[in-house]
Structure 1
Amino acid sequence: MSDTASCTVERTIPAPARALFAVLTDPNRHIDLDTSGFVTGLDHGDRLHEVGQKFTMNMTGDHMGGDYQTDNFVSAFDDNKMVGWKTAPAGTEPPGWEWLWELRSDGSDQTTVTLTYDWSKVTDQALLDKVGFPLVSETQMSESVSRLAAAVNAT
C-alpha cells in the first residue's frame, strides 16, 4: 500500500488530443486500456459527453470475490481536454475514488496525457481494508497510457 492517496502518471503521445479523447470517452474502449485485468467489458453506457453520465462496466477480481459490476459517474468533462469518473460498486454511490484523464495539446499532433488515480476521499475503513488501495499500480497506469497511444495509432 502506498503512503499517499493518489497516483499520477504523465506521457507525451504523438497524436492529437481529439483522437485520444475519442478513445477515452468511449466506454467500449476501456477494456483496451485496462492493464489491471479487472475490466472484462462494458455492460451499458454511451459515449461520454457530460458530467453526470453513468456507464456500467463488467469486472472481475479476487478483491471483490470474483465477477462484479461498477457504476462509473462522469465527474469531469472538458471536450478534448479532460474526462474523469468516480467508480462505485453497481447500485451504490461512489465511495471516494476517481480516475481523471487530462490532455494538454502540445501542437496539432502531440499531446501530454496525465492520468490520475485518486482514492483520497475514501473514508470507509472496512472498504479500505478490503480493497487495499491502490488496486492499480503506477506501472499499470503507465501501461494504460501506453495502450491509449497504441489504440490511437492503430485507428
Structure 2
Amino acid sequence: MSNNDDKKLVAHRTIEAPADAIFDVLTNPKRHKEFDGSGFIRSEDQGDRVKEVGEVFTMNMDGPHMGGEYKTDNHVTGYAKDRLVAWKTAPAGTEPPGWEWVWELEPKGQRETEVTLTYDWSKVTDKELLKKVKFPLVDQDGLDDSLQRLSALF
C-alpha cells in the first residue's frame, strides 16, 4: 500500500511482531542488510546501535548509480523509542544533500505493528545533483520489499 507524491514514496505493512522487537532491528545498523529492499547495502562499516538524534552510522554500499562500491554516512534525524527512527543519507564524509529515510511504528495490540517506511527526497535542492541522480534511487517495489524482508525476520 502506498501514498506518494512527486518527491516522496511511502509504504505500509502490518508486521506480526511487537514494536519494540522491530525497533530493535531498525536501530541496529549491523542488521540493515537483512531488510534492504534496494540491494545497495553490503554491510555496516561503522556505527553502534542508534540511540539518539545526531548520531552517524556508516554503511558499505554498492550500486551502478555510484559506479560500484561506495560508503554512506547516515545522520540520525529522528528518534522516539519503539516509535520512530529516521536518517538522512550522504556520501561518506559529506553533509546530507536532502534525502531521508523515516521508519514509523504504530502498535496494533501486543503482537502486531503497523510499519510505515517513507523515502523523502523533497529537500534535495542541489540542481547539479538533481541532474546527475535520477530520484527515486529506490522505487516503490524496493520499499515494499524492505517491509516484506523486515516482516520475514519475525
Provide TM-score, normalisation by structure 1. Answer: 0.95
Alpha-carbon distance in 2 for matches of 1:113, 1:127: 30
1:33 CA displacement? 1.0
1:28 CA displacement? 0.5
Which of 52, 55, 58 matches 2:57?
Answer: 55
Provide TM-score, normalisation by structure 2. Answer: 0.95
Gaps of 5+ in 2: none
1:36 CA displacement? 1.5
1:13 CA displacement? 0.9
Pairs aligned (count): 151
Residue 149 of structure 1 aligns with an amino acid whose one-letter code is: S
1:3 CA displacement? 6.5
- What corresponds to 2:126 in structure 1? 124
- What corresponds to 1:86 in structure 2? 88
Contact 1:15–1:109 at 8 Å: present in 2 too? Answer: yes
CA shift in 2, pair 1:135/1:107, >3 Å: same
Question: Counterparts in 2 of 1:1-150, with a 5 A limit?
Answer: 4-150=6-152
**4+ runs of 1 displaced by more than 4 Å?**
none
Residue 25 of structure 2 aligns with an amino acid whose one-letter code is: V
Contact 1:63–1:130 at 8 Å: present in 2 too? Answer: no
1:87 CA displacement? 0.3
Gaps of 5+ in 1: none
CA offsets, 1:20-63, max 9 Å, x none? Answer: 00000000011111121111111100000100000000011111
2:124 is paired with a residue whose SS is: coil
1:126 CA displacement? 1.5
Matched-pair identity in %: 57
Alpha-carbon distance in 1 for matches of 2:120, 2:66: 19
